[in-house]
Amino acid sequence: MEKNKLLEKFKQYHFEFRHITVLFVILFAFQLIVSFINKASVKNFIGKTQDWYQKDSAEELANMTSTSIELLLEAINPKSKVDNEEANRITQSFDIIFSQQVLKHNIQEICILVKKGDEIYAIDDGKILYSFLFENNKNVPLNNENHRGAINIYGKIEEEMHNKEQIHSILTEKQTFHIFVPFVLRGEYIGAVYMKNTPDFSFISKQVISNYDETSVIYLSLILLGLLAMYFISSYTVKERDDAQKLLFDEHEENIKKQVTYEKELVFAKRIYHTHHKAEKVMGFIKEDLRKLSPENISEIKYRVSKYSNFISRVIYDMKWFDPPIQAIRNSVFRTNLNEVIKFMVENIFQRVSSRSNVFEIKLEPDDSMPLVPVNEFVVWEIIEPLIQNSIDHGGEQELIITIKTVYDKESGKSKIIIQDSGKGILPELLEKNENGIKDIFMENVTTKKPSLLNTGYGCYIAFEMSKRCGWDIDAENLPSGGAIFTLIIQN
């Protein structure tokens, strides 16, 4: 009885397959993160300990070498005369100290640095050192080329060492220590004992990390096996319910797809109507040009009709494709002159409508340095035409002036197309951004025309969508002096 109650209580919690999967992934990921953090901490601790020990051992070895030489020199009475046999013994002792240190695989260089006048010399030979210290032979040829690096470094710290008489350690190439130990004879600072030491204790850290990796692998394997067992048991208990939910979701998805397809077809039909209206106007221009055709204007009309016909072809192409391929819009084959496209549209589209010619005026301010763009010429037409038409439709009825500028900035490599008017501007609510950061004026079915007019609110939307496909940015604002401004930003 109690068992049944427990099962009923457990069934109240609707754990799904994805919940168990996420829980499993999180637990295993946290364990991996903890393992990596712990390993990084151990490596960091061992690395710092190794660095400290390397420096300490290098300084200790150099200090012992300096001490050995100083003790050897302290045992010699400077007032007594040294015979040849004793001199040879001292020289041999110096050589032994130099050679024994170099035999160690970590020590790469050792010498005594002394200063004579403004020059610094390096001594690594017992006979030369004995002659320099006891025979006052200051002109003995000194071996400097083999220790040029040590001489250069010592030259920078010589004054500080002379004043403080402390050991200086300089680390280069991560593991190479340059040790300078003050060389003091009977209380007088003479120079420095230099030792280049590259201690290597990486084998210790490698062994520690290797052992830690083995332990971590075993530990993670045991945890993984336990989690896998829990995962499969839990997933089996919810499998049947998930199957039923999947069937329900598939059915719901199918219904949503049908609804989306229906909405796309409805929107596509409205767009066809919108472009069909433009095509009718252009076809009227073609008929008018053909009626005016004469031997004198055949070249001009041929050029104009060719442009009109290509635009009609583009409109028909757009009717075939709800989402046309990108290569039909933007392609390196296209080399479009924006100034020419804008000029043609103004002169042969907007200024041909006689009923509008006394209401608005269009001024062109082209920048002749504008580069060509790799965009289909008639796609540019589809972007700019609705923006100009929007200024005409919503700018007002009295002495409307529309200014179209093109600007090219060589430093940033950006071009701009600016369409501004002297009208009443855009309603503030249309310039507010939605949750996707898009201004409402560029959304579908957004218009300030009368609600009774069907198939409106597509001009700015089409310009926005086509601009995105071209890789351009578009924005709309109100001017402080009144009127609206549309800005197209083109990255060349």
Q: Which of 380, 395, 398, 368 is nearest to 485 (CA)?
A: 395
CA pair distance 298, 292, nearest whole angstrom = 9
Q: Which of 414, 439, 409, 410 is nearest to 426 (CA)?
A: 439
What domains, with CATH codes, occur in the chain?
A: 28-200 (3.30.450.20), 330-491 (3.30.565.10)
The confidence band for 378, taking pLDDT boundaries of 50, 70 and 90, is: confident
CA pair distance 381, 311, nearest whole angstrom = 8
In this predicted structure, the answer to whether residue 331 has a pLDDT above a threshold of 50 is yes
> Could you tell me which residue, 331 or 57, shows the higher pLDDT?
331
In this predicted structure, the answer to whether residue 143 has a pLDDT above a threshold of 60 is no
* pLDDT for position 457: 56
Mean pLDDT of all residues belonging to the chain: 77
Question: Are the C-beta atoms of 179 and 197 separated by less than 8 Å?
Answer: yes
Helix (H) or strand (E) holding 120: strand 119-123
Q: Which of 324, 312, 319 is nearest to 271 (CA)?
A: 319
**Average pLDDT estimate for 418-442:** 89
**Average pLDDT estimate for 255-282:** 69
In this predicted structure, the answer to whether residue 337 has a pLDDT above a threshold of 60 is yes
Alpha carbon separation from 195 to 17, 69, 144, 167 (Å, rounded) = 67, 14, 15, 11
**Average pLDDT estimate for 201-225:** 72
In this predicted structure, the answer to whether residue 355 has a pLDDT above a threshold of 50 is no
In this predicted structure, the answer to whether residue 78 has a pLDDT above a threshold of 50 is yes
* pLDDT for position 373: 93
CA pair distance 157, 144, nearest whole angstrom = 18
**Average pLDDT estimate for 312-321:** 74
The confidence band for 490, taking pLDDT boundaries of 50, 70 and 90, is: very high
Question: Are the C-beta atoms of 192 and 182 separated by less than 8 Å?
Answer: yes
Angle between helix axes 17-74 and 84-103 (nearest 10 degrees) is: 180
DSSP assignment, residue 174? T
* pLDDT for position 87: 72
The confidence band for 453, taking pLDDT boundaries of 50, 70 and 90, is: very low
Distance of CA 236 to the CA centre of its chain: 44
Q: Which of 309, 264, 265 is nearest to 286 (CA)?
A: 309
Alpha carbon separation from 483 to 33, 334, 357, 395, 448 (Å, rounded) = 58, 34, 19, 7, 15
* pLDDT for position 236: 67
Residue percentage of the chain with pLDDT more than 90: 10
